[in-house]
Amino acid sequence: MSDLDAIKLAFDEHNLFILEIVLGFVMFGVALDLRVDDFKELVKNPKPPGIGLVAQFIVLPGLTWALSRVLLGVGMISPSMALGMILVAACPGGNVSNFITHLGGGRTTTSIGMTAVSTTASVVMTPLNIGLWGSLSADTSAILTEVALDPLDMLRAVMLMLGIPIVVGVFLATRYPNLAKRVHPPFKWLSVIFFVTFIVLAVKANSHVFVPYLPKVFGPVFIMNALALALGFWGARLSGLDEGDQRAVSIEVGIQNSGLGLILIFEFFAGLGGMAMIAAWWGIWHIIAGLSLAFWWTRRDRRRAGTGAEASRPG
């Protein structure tokens, strides 16, 4: 066990329950913007979200496992940090991805569709990927064995936190569209604000523990997040998607639901320090990275527009 695993974060059952409630409300807010017809449209035009989902749930966990083996080999991370990286990679898209995609000039409909499908698929794919990739190596498999992780228990937990809020939200949005249309905007913003505030306060409460170990988790999270953003972007570009879809897929693959990750870590892994620190810092860093990328895209768009206007101006 590394010294990082010996730390204890100030995150008790009360905090865990609050985070589960907040996450449920966030997912309910996302679902209020969806209709059953939206899923039918995805079936008619499945290529953009399909490419993103393959990148997110199949390629990314595998690449993250390979990256974790390299970082373990050079002594940059511990086995618990490696498992934390795998767990984060197994989570669905984050709840702020739609906003960041819109801000960065990406195709928001693709982003919303990916969020909906990936969150729904995560009920099965998240426990499956954690169990599969975590068990491939002896050091991470030992942690799974020690906690006696039952994928069915995790499946039930994910269903309660994500599945039920999404089903209820989609039902209300389909059955009572006018009500959902009025409630969705304020509900979405309030839920995101509550979620971000909770994460910030949790990190602040643990700053005496978090700050000394930040240099240790910064590098792995930075590399993994850059890999995820690049995977989404280039996977979409090489598949022939246009730039709006490229940006949407990049953000969706690079923004993971770290709130779900933290809940799973504290519920199934007793808040193991290495795993918790990876997920906690990811929750902050992926927003910084996503907003930075969106800002760079919009600046580039303005430069292109300016160049085009300059070129078309009479001499």
Show the domains of the chain with their CATH numbers. 10-296 (1.20.1530.20)
For the stretch 10-37, pLDDT in tens is: 565 566 667 667 767 777 776 777 677 7
d(CA 46, CA 114): 10
Q: Give the model's pLDDT for residue 220.
A: 94
Better pLDDT: 192 or 251: 251
Count the Cβ atoms, other than its own, within 10 Å of residue 168. Answer: 15
Closest CA to 200 of 281, 277, 273: 281
Percent of the chain with pLDDT over 90: 22
- pTM for the full model? 0.77
* Residue 5, pLDDT above cutoff 70: no
Q: Distance from CA of residue 37 to its chain's centroid?
A: 25
The Cα 295–Cα 100 span in angstroms is 9
What is the spatial distance between Cα 206 and Cα 20, in angstroms, rounded to a whole number?
19
Cβ atoms of 123 and 146 closer than 8 Å: no
Residue 270 DSSP symbol: T
pLDDT band at 65 (very low <50, low <70, confident <90, very high): very high
Rounded to whole angstroms, what are the CA distances from 257 to 64, 87, 238, 240, 282?
16, 10, 26, 27, 9
Higher model confidence: residue 108 or residue 153? 108
The residues, ordered by sequence, that sit 6+ positions from 187 with a Cβ below 8 Å of its Cβ are 25, 28, 29, 32
Decide if 121 contacts 57 (C-beta within 8 A).
Answer: yes
